[in-house]
Amino acid sequence: MAIHVTQNGRLFHLHTADSTYQMYADEKDVLLHTYYGKRIEEENLSDLIYRADVGFSGNPPEAGGDRRYSLDCLPQELPSSGVGDFRSDCIRLRHQDGSAAADFRYEGYEILPGSYRVPGMPALYDGEEEQGETLVISMRETASAVTVRLFYGVFEKENVITRTVRVENHGKSEVLLEECLSCCLDFQFGDYDLITFPGRHAMERNVERARVGHARLEASSIRGASSHQCNPAVILCAPEATEDFGDCYGLCLVYSGNFVASAQKDQREQTRVVMGINPFQFSFRLEEGEAFDAPQVILSYSDSGLTKLSRQYHRILQEHMCRGKYRKEKRPVLINNWEATYFNFDGDKLAKIAEKAAKLGIEMLVLDDGWFGKREDDNSGLGDWFVNEKKLGSSLKELGEKIHAMGMKFGLWFEPEMISEDSDLYRAHPDWALRIPGREPNRSRNQLVLDMSRQDVRDYLLKRLTDILSDAPIDYVKWDVNRNLCDIYSHVHGRSGEVYHRHMLGVYDLLERFCARFPDILLEGCSGGGGRFDAAMLYYSPQIWCSDNTDAINRLSIQYGTSFFYPVSMVGSHVSAAPNHQTGRVTSFMTRGHVALSGSFGYELDLNKVSEEEQALVKEQIGQFHQYYDLIHEGDYYRISPPGGRFCAWEFVDRQRAHALLTLVMTSAEGNPVPVHTTVKGLDANRQYRCSYDNSIKSGKSWMNGGLTLGKALKEYESLLITWEAVE
């Protein structure tokens, strides 16, 4: 049992293998957050809360004459708004009389076996062997008929606690829900850093670390997508925390739309972190009997640094979020024609790329943008999901069969959620696009966004996808989305405060129906590369194109930032041409391969245009892909040397600690160089290992403490794969 309730149903302990989360419903029925950290005994820590008469921090009615009891100072599970807690709140209500107060008190609890589902949204699910446990705490609003249920899921072995919130209106009059965040973590003591992952198109998930102070730190998106610009996952950690040391708390939102995560110290040096759907243009109307569900947040704690925290996320996402056949099954090595041809292809050109690829051991051809409707560039055609047979010179079925006859699988690109104004779909259904009547809409890549909150839109898309995928032999779909949302207005809902979220629920609904209809298709998510790279999307697509930037050196930073939360198996990563199309940089074919191998591996270039020598390298790389697949996809991941130094390195160690693989890339070169010395991690101290670099054999203890010095200087951008094998 991971969930224990003591003190007459008032003290709640959520235990995982190494952590405890504790809450206490106090004598005034305020649900206090008393502890989250290293695993402790079941003792009430609410006595650590220091109460004082704090000027200008008022007292709730239940405090009576006790001026030392203030919601403005107490650590809480559901900070409400408008009733005396002046810090970041989690829930805002607007009542029919226009007042905006929300004040929730503890009512009761129940413990449910297994993990919980969040209606209409992805959430962690139970494994066949391991099940989570769920604590549900009920709260009631003091002056209306609104109730809240807080859901806490515990995955004991994985050191994960999840949380979400369900708001229900049991009253006769409607209530507007103007904010509903998913979780709050209050820390009474200590200093913290907040690590966030900002970026931009083609430069996603940089790593930024800042001290939490009294000015609010915020990571957020109002783009209708989790976005390139900011990722819905943050880490709060001790200022001294490193990869291997210190307290770290992860918060990862299972949502792909607008989000906010913020951290701030209050007047009494307490730190509050909140996370959930961004309240920007958010206002949900709840009539009698209606409910709202917030997305799930995955919390995890590590007492020994960032590496352990990342591993906990890699495992939970890989085992309990990623679904379907390809969760475990080996992913095919693919070749995508986008950077090889862009829009300029025909059936013959594709067949030539496929023929060469098949000879070299590549297992799947992916036909990217441009095969449908009127789509010679990115200005038209989106929405018209009908095969352009003239361009292909055959039907899609014939093309697919041709590829299959070469022994390869066949994949296809779609961008279902978008519409071009120059399309038959738009001419027939202009009201299917998100746009505000009487206003010219903002265009991005010259396209508009379909209103995914509409059932008729989703039905049309599923029909088009189904027709195409049933008619041709297709094994894989790349599901792209190439702009962000604005001009928010739905011709069906009108109520703009609900559109962002209803749109997202519509996207999930379509993806769910798609996955149910085509369970054997490998789905790869994409949004101009990694613009929707989040835990929720992993529920549908086991891999996501990590970035439109395929430059091996830029990819070091992008894949490094991505690794803090997301497993390597989720990271779509390809070898492309040199000079690189995004940066103009030239790196060797070998280095491009070594970097791409740490992901869902593939190629994105015309192999008819690479030298014989490089073609031989393709064969070698595919050999390495097969050789190291299990180690890379299932092993433990270690960040060894972050990008930004002379070299960047990372390592995989299998769970038996018998094999390790280190990738090292030289990122700058100097004359008269000092030697490269790298750390080695994760081996068994007491076993002997042979290192492939120089065939020397030493104990795990020596490797891990002494490291490895490279005997030969490396050139700029040169890379190495180095293995350690246990020798008995």
Q: Are 40 and 31 in contact (CB under 8 A)?
A: no
Residue nearest to ligand GLA (CB): 369
CB of 522 to ligand GLA, least distance (A): 16
**Residue 551 interacts with ligand GLA (CB under 6 A): yes or no:** no
Tell me which H or E stretch contains 3: strand 3-6
| Amino acid letter, 670 | E
Q: List the interface residues with ligand GLA, window 384-413 (CB under 6 A).
A: 413
Tokens of 634: 């299932």
Find tokens 């299959």 and name the residue: 404
DSSP classification of residue 200: B
**Residue 338 interacts with ligand GLA (CB under 6 A): yes or no:** yes
Strands 248-253 and 297-302: antiparallel
CA distances from 415 to 146, 526, 667 (A): 40, 9, 36
d(CA 185, CA 187): 7
User: Which one, 24 or 545, has the nearer CB to ligand GLA?
Assistant: 545
What's the N-to-C CA distance of the chain in angstroms?
39
CA angle at residue 226 from 223 to 228, to 5 degrees?
85
CB of 524 to ligand GLA, least distance (A): 10
CB of 481 to ligand GLA, least distance (A): 9
**Residue 414 interacts with ligand GLA (CB under 6 A): yes or no:** no
d(CA 162, CA 301): 12
Using the rule CB under 6 A, which residue among 158, 168, 368, 654 binds ligand GLA? 368
**Residue 381 interacts with ligand GLA (CB under 6 A): yes or no:** no
d(CA 113, CA 605): 50
**Residue 524 interacts with ligand GLA (CB under 6 A): yes or no:** no
Residues in the interface with ligand GLA (CB under 6 A) total 12
User: Which one, 332 or 528, has the nearer CB to ligand GLA?
Assistant: 528
Q: Which stretch binds ligand GLA (CB under 6 A): 46-54, 57-65, 525-533, 595-603?
A: 525-533
**Residue 528 interacts with ligand GLA (CB under 6 A): yes or no:** yes
Catalytic positions, written as ranges = 534, 614
Using the rule CB under 6 A, which residue among 103, 193, 369, 606 binds ligand GLA? 369
Using the rule CB under 6 A, which residue among 548, 606, 614, 654 binds ligand GLA? 548
Q: Which residues contact 73 (CB under 8 A, 6 or more apart)?
A: 51, 52, 54, 57, 266, 268, 270
Q: Which stretch binds ligand GLA (CB under 6 A): 147-155, 179-187, 526-534, 644-652?
A: 526-534
The alpha carbon torsion through 443, 197, 541, 656 (nearest 10 deg) reads 170
CB of 418 to ligand GLA, least distance (A): 10
**Residue 724 interacts with ligand GLA (CB under 6 A): yes or no:** no
CB of 337 to ligand GLA, least distance (A): 10
Using the rule CB under 6 A, which residue among 526, 544, 590, 680 binds ligand GLA? 526
CB of 184 to ligand GLA, least distance (A): 35
Q: Annotate 466-525 with DSSP letters as a single string.
A: HHHHHHS---EEEE-------S---TTT--HHHHHHHHHHHHHHHHHHHHHH-TTSEEEE
User: Which one, 507 or 640, has the nearer CB to ligand GLA?
Assistant: 507
**Residue 635 interacts with ligand GLA (CB under 6 A): yes or no:** no
**Residue 383 interacts with ligand GLA (CB under 6 A): yes or no:** no
Binding track over 434-473 against ligand GLA, x by CB under 6 A: ----------------------------------------
Where do the DSSP E strands lie in 39-159?
91-94, 104-113, 133-141, 146-155
d(CA 312, CA 95): 41
Using the rule CB under 6 A, which residue among 480, 551, 654, 718 binds ligand GLA? 480
Cα torsion 420, 424, 427, 428: sign: negative
CB of 526 to ligand GLA, least distance (A): 5
User: Which one, 148 or 418, has the nearer CB to ligand GLA?
Assistant: 418
CB of 365 to ligand GLA, least distance (A): 14
Beta bridge mates, 582: none
Alpha helices in 518-650 (DSSP H): 535-538, 552-562, 589-597, 612-634
Q: Which residues bind ligand GLA (CB under 6 A)?
A: 338, 368-369, 378, 413, 480, 482, 526, 528-529, 545, 548
